[in-house]
Chains A and B, each alone.
Chain A
Amino acid sequence: MTDEENTLIPSPVLSPKDFDSGFDVRWCPGCGDYAILANLKRVLPTLGIPKENFVVVSGIGCSSRFPYYLDTYGMHTIHGRAPTIATGLKCSRPDLSVWVVTGDGDGLSIGGNHLMHAIRRNVDIKILLFNNQIYGLTKGQYSPTTKQSKRTKSSPTGSIDYPVNPISWALGAEATFIARTIFQYPDHMKEVLRRAAEHKGVSFVEIYQNCIIFNDGAFRYATDKEMRYDNIFELEHGKPMKFGRDQEKGIFLHGLTPKVINYKQAGFDETDLLHHNENAQESTLAFFLSRMRYPEFPEPIGIFRAIQKPTYNDLLDKQMEEAKKSVTKPLQDIINGEENWMVT
């Protein structure tokens, strides 16, 4: 189908059902991946993009089975390499909406290099990293995001690895869009996914996802009805950072470190709190926020950073256009070379 045809025929209004591939979903009952699938199915039809223009590329892992369950174009590739395939695809076909689904092992361990480079190039692809802090598919070894001391199949006496902080890491690679959301926050997730989709440039979204079999409860502090108010706060652009059951606690900047104060009790006002600015060109604030980890601090969710920078695929196309414009002779002349001779 040509682009022209696509634009001429008005797209029918799509529903989540249209994105159902009809395959039996094979995740364990209760796996956090179900919720992510359901939310993405709700967001995709609302983006105004024809269904046939979505491509979901994944690596290997429980999370990477994702493309099979969506009725879009998709490729379930090899462990850790999805960003490379997505990069080639987007550069070849900038008209497509290209998504990458990866896990904490897939994206940050074996594929860490590719993820970093896809991000730093600002290829216009949407990367969803399902972080369950464990290797699910290979049945429960610790991953690069597993908390230190965690006992797993491959660390019976506790993991001695220092975990990576995915958001700090993405900032180090200069991601232009960075967000975090949680599998059990449907509305929040939908909003983050929509914003990620609409961002022009690379979007990096970390999604906390519970592996009920091998790492159950890893995010209980963030999902439990009683605990979540004290452990999670939502970032909103231009708004003060506050949280707690009655929104009574706030984030203050104390030197170069964050400080949590019950500001209402202490007699402060909302305007005294740290305010979020997702468009800050410098990533200092976003980095500062990414360092706030449970249990020392409440963890921010939402959009850490959303800035504009020319995308790799646009820059590449621009160079291609210029090269085409500067062509003065047919390929045959190039093949003939500058120096040739006739044998008669």
Chain B
Amino acid sequence: MEEVQKLKKENKNRPYKSKQTLERVVIRLAGDSGDGMQLAGLKFTSASVMLGNDVSTFPDYPAEIRAPQGTLAGVSGFQIHFSSTEIYTPGDRLDTLVAMNPAALKVNIGDLKSNGILICDKDSFTPRTLAKAGYTSNPLEDDSLQNYRLFSVNITKFNKETVSKIEGMTGKQINLTRNFFALGLISWLYDRPLDTTIKWIKSKFKNRPNIVEANTNTLKAGYYFGETNEFLAIQYSVPKATMEPGLYRYISGTQALALGLATAAQLAKKELFFGAYPITPASDILHELVRLRGYGIKTFQAEDEIAAIGSIIGAAFGGSIGVTGTSGPGLALMSEALGLAVITELPIVLINVQRAGPSTGMPTKPEQSDLLQVLFGRNGESPLPVLAPQSPGDCFDLSIEAVRIAVKYMTPVVLLSDAYLANNIDPWKIPNLDDQSPIEVFHLTKSLESGNDRFTPYSRNEHLSRPYVLPGTKGLEHRIGGLEKEKITGDVSYDPLNHEEMVNLREQKISGIVKEFPLQEVYGPAEGDVLVLSWGSTHGAAHTASENLRNEGFSVANTNLRFINPLPSNLGDILGSFKRILIPEMNKGQLHLIIQARYSVRAKSLTKVQGKPFHVDEIEALIRKIIAGINHD
């Protein structure tokens, strides 16, 4: 704030500006992928969290690596939802949109609320850029934007004036600082301090003083412009949210997964072997983990997904924690080997970052459409536990939980994330590693059988887990494999009744994992009119929608599944306590199918398969309709 105070003092002739306090705001910064919108967005986010807001963000990158400049395909956006109350989603509709070029305007304008604030860089609306974006007339000058509060600002020109006097700035470098002018401007608009950003600039470019100066000056110039220029008449502020005390950072689902796995390795005092084949949006897990090799994570880039999962099965047999990460098409390739892990009862974790399918589908876009594939997409009766994190931070907790379950129950575990969770960035209360309970891994080193009896690799403990014996253990040499086993000796067996018993045993073992899970929690009334049952990343929108209606006095509860197989033991009772059940999911009703079949309840399915997460109002609207229906009965 110091810097800003100084600016304010310097400027004595500033026009009168009114101030307004808002509960929450959604903004989006959009520009060409070379315009630095992600960075500006992140810095705005930092400033907001430092102010004490609750924040949720969503970066939206172009799918093409090098989309031509100025085209619709090359637009990059960063959405920030900041609030004085708790929030769970990056927000539906925008209060403010910053568009750095015509393409960014065209791609994003549909999401701006009517009467929303629209800030455009006037200088980059040239005949050439307009044509590239497919505009036949300049929208800043015709009447097409009259539904919005449009502010056309000479961002390029003002930025240039500010930084071109600095020594050693090339034309290209000058252009690269435009994003900080825009950031300064909206920082004023929403009363965000500049100091965190200035500090960051100083450390980031510490060996390039001219860049530090340029970015800092233009940031301040933007701020100053907002303050002194008459046309932005109102400054908004969003007060502090009450958040649980503690140390916070912001984190994406991908980062949380990687840190969770590193933590799991430490808690288990074991090497974690991560074998993977690059695939969007899961490759970033590999990129994050490679950098954590020093913390006992061995990474292996395999020749394909079959090799990736094969390598971790081998590593698990050898005693490492075997983990792989993939997305839909890779998951499909892994299914046979996943079955091998089921029958050999080896502990591995498969992270599937779901994206829109079928086939290659839309690689960068989220969907929740692999649920049935992970539950049933293998030959034979092949049960395994399925976990689904509900927020970026939850990716940390559930990756540890996945490892814990895998080694305790000697089973492959699937963690279902998605492209939205992977990139969504939320504030996260940093856990203290000392509070985490260790992951116990027990390796049998002596035969439990008396005398000369052979070691029996398929005898089971109270959890129905078989012993985990590592090669190199004298006297316990044994063979495992994909053929059906005799239920105790593990010898190959085609005995019909033994097979049936083994199928049942494998099923019981997985069902028994339910005792590891917390009871399913319900937000809102314990019984009533409507229960919204969501899973995984749909939590944010479902919870917000339900809460909004609760605040209006409706009898609406919601609950989110993080454990999908086995299902929490009290779920049946919960479902029975409501007149209507609504299941929103980013697929064509996969959880809905399972819930109806398992609990013989009738539920309504709300589906969305647009490669986009739910908007709160989409869920809210349907709940209202359902309530109206009940009142009609």
Decide if A and B are genuine partners. yes
Residues of B within 8 A of A51 (CB): 474, 477
Whether B251 and A341, one on each chain, are in contact in the complex, defined by CB atoms closer than 8 angstroms, is no
Q: Does A88 contact B (CB under 8 A)?
A: yes
Task: Give Cα A52–Cα B316 distance, bound, in whole angstroms.
Answer: 17
Are A331 and B245 CB-contacts (below 8 A) given A52-B472, A81-B310?
A: no
> At the interface with chain A, which of B31-39, B430-438, B616-624?
B430-438
Task: Give Cα A83–Cα B263 distance, bound, in whole angstroms.
Answer: 30
Task: Give Cα A339–Cα B471 distance, bound, in whole angstroms.
Answer: 44
Whether B303 and A117, one on each chain, are in contact in the complex, defined by CB atoms closer than 8 angstroms, is yes
Whether A76 and B473, one on each chain, are in contact in the complex, defined by CB atoms closer than 8 angstroms, is no
Nearest to A121 among chain B residues (CB) is B303
Task: Give Cα A336–Cα B306 distance, bound, in whole angstroms.
Answer: 35
A-facing mask of B260-271, CB < 8 A → 1, else 0?
Answer: 001100100001
Q: How far is the CB of A80 from chain B (nearest CB, A)?
A: 8
Q: Does A67 contact B (CB under 8 A)?
A: yes
Residues of A within 8 A of B337 (CB): 78, 81
Whether A85 and B313, one on each chain, are in contact in the complex, defined by CB atoms closer than 8 angstroms, is yes
Whether A84 and B314, one on each chain, are in contact in the complex, defined by CB atoms closer than 8 angstroms, is yes
Nearest to B262 among chain A residues (CB) is A331
Are A75 and B295 CB-contacts (below 8 A) given A1-B473, A88-B273, A113-B303?
A: no
Q: Does B70 contact A (CB under 8 A)?
A: no
Task: Give Cα A334–Cα B256 distance, bound, in whole angstroms.
Answer: 11
Whether B306 and A23, one on each chain, are in contact in the complex, defined by CB atoms closer than 8 angstroms, is no
Q: Does A283 contact B (CB under 8 A)?
A: no
Are A92 and B314 CB-contacts (below 8 A) given A52-B472, A68-B479?
A: yes
Whether B295 and A331, one on each chain, are in contact in the complex, defined by CB atoms closer than 8 angstroms, is yes
Residue among B259, B293, B314 making CB contact with A88, cutoff 8 Å: B314
Residues of A within 8 A of B432 (CB): 332
Task: Give Cα A68–Cα B480 distance, bound, in whole angstroms.
Answer: 9
Are A336 and B492 CB-contacts (below 8 A) given A73-B477, A89-B314, A342-B247?
A: no
Whether A92 and B263, one on each chain, are in contact in the complex, defined by CB atoms closer than 8 angstroms, is no
Nearest to A73 among chain B residues (CB) is B471
Task: Give Cα A319–Cα B293 distance, bound, in whole angstroms.
Answer: 9
Q: Does B579 contact A (CB under 8 A)?
A: no
Q: Does A316 contact B (CB under 8 A)?
A: yes
Are A320 and B293 CB-contacts (below 8 A) given A75-B479, A84-B310?
A: yes
Q: How far is the CB of A327 from chain B (nearest CB, A)?
A: 4
> Which residues of chain B (479-500) have a CB below 8 Å from chain A?
479-483, 491-492
Whether B318 and A340, one on each chain, are in contact in the complex, defined by CB atoms closer than 8 angstroms, is no
B-facing mask of A85-125, CB < 8 A → 1, else 0?
Answer: 11111111101100000000000000001100100000000
Task: Give Cα A113–Cα B337 distance, bound, in whole angstroms.
Answer: 16
Whether B312 and A331, one on each chain, are in contact in the complex, defined by CB atoms closer than 8 angstroms, is no
Residues of B within 8 A of A91 (CB): 273, 298, 300, 311, 314-315
Nearest to B49 among chain A residues (CB) is A341
Whether A77 and B340, one on each chain, are in contact in the complex, defined by CB atoms closer than 8 angstroms, is yes
Most buried by B among A55, A83, A85, A316: A85
Task: Give Cα A85–Cα B275 distance, bound, in whole angstroms.
Answer: 11
Residues of A within 8 A of B50 (CB): 341
Q: How far is the CB of A41 from chain B (nearest CB, A)?
A: 14
Whether A85 and B433, one on each chain, are in contact in the complex, defined by CB atoms closer than 8 angstroms, is no
Residue among B244, B319, B483 making CB contact with A93, cutoff 8 Å: B319
Task: Give Cα A337–Cα B298 distance, bound, in whole angstroms.
Answer: 22
Q: Does B212 contact A (CB under 8 A)?
A: no
Q: Does A50 contact B (CB under 8 A)?
A: yes
Task: Give Cα A135–Cα B139 distance, bound, in whole angstroms.
Answer: 69
Residues of B within 8 A of A337 (CB): 249, 251, 430
Most buried by B among A68, A88, A91: A88
Are A336 and B249 CB-contacts (below 8 A) given A88-B312, A331-B295?
A: yes
Whether B294 and A327, one on each chain, are in contact in the complex, defined by CB atoms closer than 8 angstroms, is yes
Q: Does A74 contact B (CB under 8 A)?
A: yes
Whether A336 and B477, one on each chain, are in contact in the complex, defined by CB atoms closer than 8 angstroms, is no
Residue among B314, B433, B474 making CB contact with A52, cutoff 8 Å: B474
Q: Does A324 contact B (CB under 8 A)?
A: yes
Q: Does A71 contact B (CB under 8 A)?
A: yes
Whether A87 and B298, one on each chain, are in contact in the complex, defined by CB atoms closer than 8 angstroms, is no
Residues of B within 8 A of A336 (CB): 247, 249, 430
Whether A76 and B314, one on each chain, are in contact in the complex, defined by CB atoms closer than 8 angstroms, is no
Whether A85 and B314, one on each chain, are in contact in the complex, defined by CB atoms closer than 8 angstroms, is yes
Add 8 more A-B contacts to A52-B471, A84-B314, A343-B244 (CB < 8 A): A73-B477, A75-B479, A78-B337, A83-B307, A88-B310, A89-B471, A339-B46, A340-B249
Top 10 A-B pairs, shortest CB-CB distance? A84-B310, A76-B481, A88-B314, A88-B311, A89-B314, A323-B293, A327-B294, A93-B318, A92-B318, A85-B314
Please give the residue numbers on chain A whose beta carbons come within 8 Å of chain B beta carbons, in ascending order: 1, 3, 6, 21, 23, 50-53, 55, 57, 60, 67-68, 71-78, 81, 83-93, 95-96, 113-114, 117, 316, 319-320, 323-327, 331-332, 334-337, 339-344
27 A-B pairs, CB-CB below 8 angstroms? A21-B479, A55-B317, A57-B314, A73-B472, A73-B479, A75-B479, A77-B340, A78-B482, A84-B308, A84-B309, A85-B310, A85-B317, A88-B314, A89-B317, A91-B311, A92-B320, A93-B319, A93-B320, A96-B318, A114-B303, A114-B306, A316-B300, A320-B293, A331-B262, A332-B432, A340-B249, A343-B245
